[in-house]
Amino acid sequence: METVKKDKMFTSVSVGAATVWFSTHCGAGFASGTQELQYFANHGWWGPLFPILTIFIIALTYYVGVETARQINKYDYHAWSKEAYKPIGFVGSIFIDISIALTVIAATAAVIAAGASLGTQQFGWPPIVGSLLMFAIITVLSIFGAKVVRNNAMIMTVGIIAIVLLVLIAGLIKFAPDIARLFSERFTNPDAAKWSVTGASDTVPANLGNSLLWALTYAGFQMGIIGASAASFQGAKSKKESKGFAVLGFILNAVMLSGVTFLLLAGMPGIWQDEAAKTLPTLFMVNQLEMPILTFLYPIMLFLALVTTGVGLVFGLVERLNPYLFKGIKNEIGRKALLSIISIGVCWAVSLLGLMWVVAVAYKYLGILNWFFVILPLWFLGFKNIKARDNAAKETTTIRS
């Protein structure tokens, strides 16, 4: 009976970790639509197709992280990355540290900035009130361990998915003729965002190569979430659970990312030319539906998305720092609370630069960096090391039998 349980792909751990991935992915940039517009929809009719490739790359890389963590039973990313990057484990752990630290700072800053804006727009709060609310919620939820983070992600993800699906179904039905027309015309944006190492605000006539570079960059800057996914994988028993995590995570993220991109494509090219619409593109399209219930539900979804992203990222960072800092504080919850407060405080300072700067500039450079620091090394070394550990385990089992 125990063997059967271990061989299941979809368990509370694998499903929970997959929802941590989705809920952390579904943050300020995703829920507001700024990421989908910047990286996919603004290029033209092929924009909604690229998320499939992007999420496949992410799933493949995350699998290396969670399976390595499961094999060695170490879930903070400093520990498992040393094993994943062998024989350059020390260097690899530094790569992961740099990548995740920068991602946590940038993405959590975006969460806080979006939370402040949401509170101001919906309730007329001063920006400081929305920021403090996000600060407090993220701190509380990120200090109580992997099970709490998984449960929080699973509960909130249900709400996020339900609301996003309502928006997508209503939007895609209403805008289906526009989407069909854009596809039949093979619409491409004459002023698409130009991918380049410099000049984030430059434009260029949309082309396949430029669009591909943006899609690959999106996969790159999502690597910072690998720490949260692996940290939430505690309790996994078999390789099948790692595969279940990758499969379910791929489906959730690819469907949602592609769906929102289709919705935003329906607003092209006007949505790209309207500066106000570019700030909160999804809200702009929701307002075009003229459905009060969705206008009410969208801010709720955005709030849930902000919370789950902030919690997932900060939790991963706290797990990394906890064994090394403030050892004099014997109470573990108190120690994690202090680490969370300090981490979020740094992110708060960066949030003053604004959501658009984070999405268009900081994320792009993170994406480029992470292809060299995370994706390619884990593909070439991580899979090789996973196979080596599997072979070693089989040999041990054979000798014992």
pLDDT, tens digit, 9 for 90 and up, residues 40-70? 999 999 888 899 999 999 999 999 999 999 9
Sign of the torsion formed by the C-alpha atoms of 323, 18, 255 and 286? negative
Residue 295 or 192, more confident = 192
User: What's the rounded Cα separation, in Å, for the pair 367 and 384?
Assistant: 24
The string of pLDDT tens digits covering residues 217-253 is 999 989 877 887 888 898 888 999 999 999 999 999 9
Residue 328 or 51, more confident = 51
What value does the mean pLDDT of the chain take?
84
Residue 368 or 276, more confident = 368
User: What's the rounded Cα separation, in Å, for the pair 301 and 122?
Assistant: 13
How far CA 220 is from CA of 129, 163, 169, 225, in Å, comes to 33, 27, 29, 11
For the cut 80, the answer to whether the pLDDT of residue 366 exceeds it is yes
Contacts of 155 (CB under 8 A, 6+ apart): none
Mean pLDDT (whole number) for 376-384 = 95
Residue 310 or 181, more confident = 181
Could you tell me the fold of the domain covering 10-386? Amino acid/polyamine transporter I (1.20.1740)
| pLDDT at residue 231 in the model | 83
Largest CA distance in the chain: 69
Of 10-19, 139-148, 182-191, least confident by mean pLDDT is 139-148
User: What's the rounded Cα separation, in Å, for the pair 107 and 113?
Assistant: 10
Residue spans per domain, the chain: 10-386
pLDDT > 90: percent of the chain: 33
